[in-house]
Amino acid sequence: MTDFLEVKDLTMRFGGLVAVDSLSFKVAHGSIHGLIGPNGAGKTTTFNMISGFYTPTSGQVLLRGEDISGLQMHEVARRGVVRTFQHSTLFAELTVLENALVGTHMPFRPNIFAAIIGWDKEDRSGAEARAKEALEFFGLDHVMHERAGDLSHGHQRALGMAVAYASHPDVVLLDEPFTGMNPEETRQMMDLMERLKADGITILIVEHDMQAIMGLCDNITCMSFGKFLAEGGPHEIRNHPAVIEAYLGGARHVA
């Protein structure tokens, strides 16, 4: 396992507030890495900086040694780092298949002139095959022609991951994928992530659901009030005094 994605001294200030304060951690290739911390710890801000949604105030995000901080979101995506969003951010008005087809934008870049003349048949069928493959992977092929906005919550979350998966990503950033799921759905989602990992995809998760995180992650970074707190395997993190202290009060309910 080599260092694949590295966050180095990443800092984000909103006015006087330091949301993330010189955070550093490394994500190994092919692993599932968790980013946890109490509410307001700056997890999502970190996430947004890695994915290019925010430009960090200072610090670097290195992908295979290349600094990708400050790039626009689509440029980060084109380098293989694809994110999902909190809640069900989907193209609600489009069908499930169309959602997945948008996900194939990168491997099958549309060309307007070829599209007018009709010379892009191969690309179109390729994109459709890939989209269907992604939907099948997440068990959504039976709802292919439904409107995405009409799907159940669990299916919508799965579709969000299918859209990301359709683009052949190297790294998937999952923003709270287990929110609002019942234990059964959580278990199914964990299976899917294991399968993504088996596919060679590196996963970085921001999550509140400790049970899922502990059962899934190879490595966990814990942060609190924007600062690095601890890092290690699930067992170490569970018993780390600083982590327990940070969660104190909520610890019994969260864990």
What tokens does 148 get?
């995405």
Pick from 123, 213, 205, 111: nearest CA to 164? 205
What's the closest the beta carbon of residue 64 comes to other proteins, in angstroms? 18
Neighbour-count burial for 152-162, b at 16+ CB within 10 Å, e otherwise: eebbbbbbbbb
> If DSSP codes are grouped into helix, strand and coil, which group holds residue 130?
helix
21-29, 119-127, 202-210, 213-221 -> range binding other proteins (CB under 8 A): 119-127
- Decide: is 45 part of the binding site for other proteins (CB under 8 A): no
Q: What are phi and psi of 37, to 5 degrees?
A: 160, 160
Residue whose pair of structure tokens reads 């968790």 in the numeric block: 34
- Decide: is 250 part of the binding site for other proteins (CB under 8 A): no
Q: According to CB under 8 A, which one of 16, 116, 200, 241 is a site residue for other proteins?
A: 116
- Decide: is 72 part of the binding site for other proteins (CB under 8 A): yes
Q: According to CB under 8 A, which one of 13, 29, 147, 240 is a site residue for other proteins?
A: 147
- Decide: is 221 part of the binding site for other proteins (CB under 8 A): no
- Decide: is 87 part of the binding site for other proteins (CB under 8 A): no
Beta strands in the chain (DSSP E): 3-14, 17-28, 32-36, 58-63, 66-67, 81-83, 171-175, 202-206, 219-224, 227-232
- Decide: is 164 part of the binding site for other proteins (CB under 8 A): yes
Q: How many helices (H) and strands (E) does the chain have?
A: 11, 10
What's the closest the beta carbon of residue 45 comes to other proteins, in angstroms? 16
- Decide: is 165 part of the binding site for other proteins (CB under 8 A): no
Binding stretches for other proteins (CB under 8 A): 51, 53, 72-74, 77-78, 82-85, 89-94, 98, 101-103, 105-106, 108, 110-112, 115-116, 118, 120, 123-124, 127, 146-147, 149-150, 163-164, 167
